[in-house]
Amino acid sequence: MVIGLVLMVGVSLIDTRQIRSWAPFLYGCTVFSLLVVLTPAGTVVNGARAWFSLPGGFQIEPNEFAKIALILITAAIFSQARRAKSGGPRVRALFLALACAAPLIGLVVIEPALGVALVLVVVTATLIVLSGLRLRVIAALAVVVGVTIVAAGDLHLLKDYQLTRFTSFLHPNQDLAGAGYNAAQAKIAVGSGGMFGSGLFHGQLVAGNFVPSQQTDFIFTVAGEELGFVGTIVIVFLLGVVILRALRIATRADDLFGLLVASGIAMWFAFQSFVNIGMTIGIMPITGLPLPFVSYGGSAIFADMIAIGLLQSVHRRRTVFD
């Protein structure tokens, strides 16, 4: 946590113009790390080759930092296009942004880390919509994406366990002892907490390990059972405050780069929070996404803190030039 705070403060003190100039280098380093992690240098955990193992039991997950790299490089591309030509970014900038997003998304899918890939897709779509492109261009792109999704399903590009997660979400009671077990136990744990919960460290389902990945993907079930409805509402409220502050910083940014960076971070936190909480209460399929600022995990927390530092940097630049 101390390292995360140092990263947050350090990034917040960097001018956004400097961050924009570093975006291509940071993007290149991220793509390189995603390539290397797929080699034997990477470590396989839960079927995904997505981690680097370090001495002392530490692990680094490069795909968490891919979210930051994607936001920065996309914001830099569209802001540069806006400066080069008034009246909105050129369509050429759209293709360049998509060309930069494709390797990140593709490498994350190969790991496989479908949840992170979904975050990258949603963030990319958000930045494209906010970039100032004409509506007909955005509509045409949406059609292409829809056709691609249908083709992916027809060509069976998703792995069997990924398809099982979606089918168990659509039919939650079909295989409660198999694919639907995690989702069923998560809902039971959340519901058993009642209004005020059973108290910290007194959750019977949590203590009995009936719900997997309690410290990471299913951390919200722990809050539901031990803190109850009141505790979970507090968590949702605090996450909402962070997201609303990010949106406020975006609306008050002094340039397109700052607007896109803050908006991308806000969508990242909002979508990831919605998916993580939603899968524990049965309204979203199960994916490997942590709850921002709540789930245990070094790489995820570091990425979250860097994102907060970026928000502060955008806010500081606007404040300085007021």
Exposed / middle / buried, residue 237 (Cβ in 10 Å: 0-12, 13-18, 19+): exposed
pTM score: 0.89
Sort strands 48-53 and 59-60 into parallel, antiparallel or unpaired.
antiparallel
For residues 124-145, average pLDDT: 80
Amino acid identity of 139? A
Helices 62-84 and 16-37, interaxial angle, to 10°? 140
pLDDT digits (tens, 9 = 90+) for 29-74: 999 999 999 998 888 887 788 888 887 778 899 999 999 999 999 9
The dihedral region occupied by 53, where left means phi > 0, alpha psi between -120 and 50, and beta the remainder, is beta
Based on its alpha-carbon atoms, the radius of gyration of the chain, rounded to whole angstroms, reads 20
pLDDT digits (tens, 9 = 90+) for 262-315: 999 999 999 999 999 998 888 888 787 899 999 887 789 999 999 999 999 999
List of residues 6+ apart from 179 with CB closer than 8 A: 164, 165, 167, 168
How many domains does the chain fold into?
1
End-to-end CA distance of the chain: 33
Give, for 61, the enclosing helix (H) or strand (E).
Answer: none
Handedness of CA 15, 18, 20, 24 (dihedral sign): negative
* Alpha carbons 314 and 300: distance in angstroms, whole number: 21
List the domain range (segments joined by +) for residue 117: 2-320
pLDDT digits (tens, 9 = 90+) for 173-190: 665 555 567 777 888 888
